[in-house]
Structure 1
Amino acid sequence: MNFKITRTKPYYETDQTQLYLGDTFELLSKCKKESIDMIFADPPYFLSNDGITCQAGKMVSVNKGAWDKAYSFEDKHKFNRKWIRACKRVLKPNGTIWISGTLHNIYSIGTALEQEGFKILNNIIWQKTNPPPNLACKCFTHSTETILWARKDENKARQLFNYQLMKELNGGKQMKDVWTGALTSKKEKEYGKHPTQKPKYLLERIILASTNEGDIVLDPFCGSSTTGVVAKELNRFYIGIDNNEEYINLSKRRIENA
């Protein structure tokens, strides 16, 4: 099955996986229109504001890199609309997009989705059982992230949702929109660390809910490619894009050992 980004050589390639090193916007522009079944995106949260947090019992900086540097709301929103618009072009009529975020970016993303012609289906609340403690003690401890699930609004094609499977995984009861679990385990970081790496169980549920075997999954900000690891294990095709060579090599190591 040919699922490559056209006219561009992958940084890493197998029968089921392609990793691309480069600019997300440029690479998405070369991707075939309406060729992707599902997108999972974990875009910059713009958290890098020189603050502090707790990690493994130690006080550390919240700064993650230049890619996560905080800008004005106008600049952040323009960025979010641009990449969401690019994703919409490559998404199939019945495909869906999942976007993870925090209070720092999720409201802009929700607005951008509607402005770019998406219909939001759910806002999943991921409740973390072991969040970092609140060192400043000036507000409630941040223990959740939001994952928005959306489809193209102008298309009447019904999105894929494996409802019965989700019900089975939830003990025979309808699955609700609050998902509870721990942060990414040390075992899942054995090949290297990424500052916003998501746990496998989260992507397993997302991919199982909205794709079938053989479908194509795209992650435009792939980081350490938890999406790709799970896609491989669940027999889906995967395209990952990142502009950081260190993270692309981390993705490569994780996928090779999946």
Structure 2
Amino acid sequence: MPDTSLVARLQRDAHAEIKCQDNLKFMRKLEDESMHLIVTSPPYNIGKEYEEKISQEKYIEEQAACIAEAVRVLHPKGSICWQVGNHVQNGEIFPLDIVLYTLFKNHRLQLRNRIVWTFGHGLHCQKRFSGRHETILWFTKSDEYTFNLDPVRIPSKYPEKKHFKGPNKGKLSSNPLGKNPSDVWDIPNVKSNHVEKADHPCQFPVGLVERLVLSLTNLGDSVLDPYIGVGSSAIAALKHHRNAYGCDLDKSYIDIAWERVHQLRAGELRTRPMNKPVYDPNTKEIE
């Protein structure tokens, strides 16, 4: 029998284009207004293993160039979701959503939500409160944009609540499909015991991107991640019959991304369900 462990998988999928390439070079080959959602989490310039720490000025210049290309390829009814945390220097924090906001406004994009992503695990700080949230800036190109709330509704807290007066007295007052998840999302980050954990220090949870894919795109639309890492945004797009595009400079991450795509196609990829409640030891809910 041949040793199939040495057989390299083809880096190809009918609905995915994922390359080890500089993001400007990758995006410049994409057609104008061809992407319906651009969702990413760029490096925070804090010296992680996948980035070279540079001056804040140069970091902003690089982000400005990437954002300019993203705006060019964004569909008129499309959305950009830039997920960021803090740059930290000499113990002082610089919130990158505030630092980068002007770059998007320079292109006349419109901010629809500043989504707070909160999670329970992270580094414990000694001289300030431990950081347990990051933000997603959701911008659109125009007033006409795709927004589908029903696919991302979450269970209502009181699903049996009824109107107590007026013409609808006695009828259910909540939407039977669930409620709007609001702009604060409690989704576990990907740590060592997470079902999705791959060899990346700051991995996107698939469920976080799924909520954006389902609400901000339609079937057959195209999703781009210019800092794709190990491919969580591609997985979220492909799971829901969208086209996935992305790139990263680290070949090992791209190899992992393709391996995850193949596992998805084979029905072997494990992901945390998008709306699964966070474990609460006081109520003994199942994680």
Residues 1:125 and 2:134 are matched in the alignment? no
Q: Is the partner of 2:43 in helix, strand or coil?
A: coil
What one-letter code is carried by the residue in structure 2 that aligns with 1:160?
T
Deviations 1:75-117 (A, max 9, x none): 1211111100000111110000111101223222212111232
The residue correspondences of 1:101-250 to structure 2 (distance < 5 A) are: 101-104=84-87, 105-134=96-125, 137-152=126-141, 155-156=142-143, 158-166=144-152, 168-171=153-156, 172-184=178-190, 185-189=193-197, 192-250=198-256
TM-fit CA distance, 1:20: 1.5
Match of 2:82 among 90, 99, 118: 99
Q: 1:74, CA displacement in angstroms? A: 1.6
TM-score (norm 2): 0.74
Deviation at 1:21, TM superposition (A): 1.6
- Per-residue CA distance 1:170-211 (angstroms, 9 max, x = gap): 43223210001211153212xx31111011111111111101
Contact preservation (8 Å) 1:46, 1:70: yes
Q: Aligned equivalents of 1:47 and 1:72: distance in 2?
A: 10
Question: Structure 1: which 5+ residue stretches go unaligned?
Answer: 1-10, 49-62
Number of matched pairs: 224
Task: Please say if residues 80 and 108 of structure 1, whose CA atoms lie closer than 8 Å, have aligned partners that are also in contact.
Answer: no
Distance 1:245 1:30 in 2: 20
- Structure-2 separation of matches of 1:41 and 1:200: 12
Q: CA separation in 2, counterparts of 1:201 and 1:22?
A: 26
Compared with structure 1, are the counterparts of its residues 120 and 248 closer, same or farther at alpha carbon in structure 2 (3 Å cutoff)?
same
Aligned partner of 1:6 in structure 2 is: none
Distance 2:155 2:55 in 1: 41
Identify unmatched segments of 5+ residues in structure 2: 1-9, 88-95, 157-177, 265-287
Distance 2:17 2:11 in 1: 6
The SS at the match of 1:188 is coil
Q: Distance in 1 between matches of 2:54 and 2:98?
A: 15
1:96 counterpart letter in structure 2: S
Structure 2 CA distance, aligned partners of 1:138 and 1:247?
34
User: Which residue, 68, 71, 77 being the options, matches 1:85?
Assistant: 68
| Alignment partners' CA distance in 2, 1:196 and 1:225 | 12
Contact kept in structure 2, 1:81 and 1:116, CA below 8 Å: no
Q: Check conservation: 2:203, 2:230, Cα contact below 8 A.
A: yes
Shift of 1:164: 3.0
Alignment of 1:67-78 (within 5 A): 67=51, 69-78=52-61
The higher-RCO structure (CA 8 Å, 6+ apart) is: 1
TM-score by length of 1: 0.82
Partners in 2 of 1:130 and 1:21 — Cα distance?
30
1:18-38: CA deviation from partner (whole Å, max 9, x where unpaired): 112211111211111111111
Say if 1:219 and 1:227, in contact at 8 Å, map to a contact too.
yes
Q: State the AA in 2 paired with 1:18.
A: E
Instruction: Choose between structure 1 and 2: higher helix proportion.
Output: 1
RMSD, matched Cα: 1.6
Aligned residues of 1:84 and 1:116 also touching (Cα < 8 A): no
Task: Give the Cα separation in 2 of the matches to 1:117 and 1:85.
Answer: 11
Structure number with greater Rg is: 2
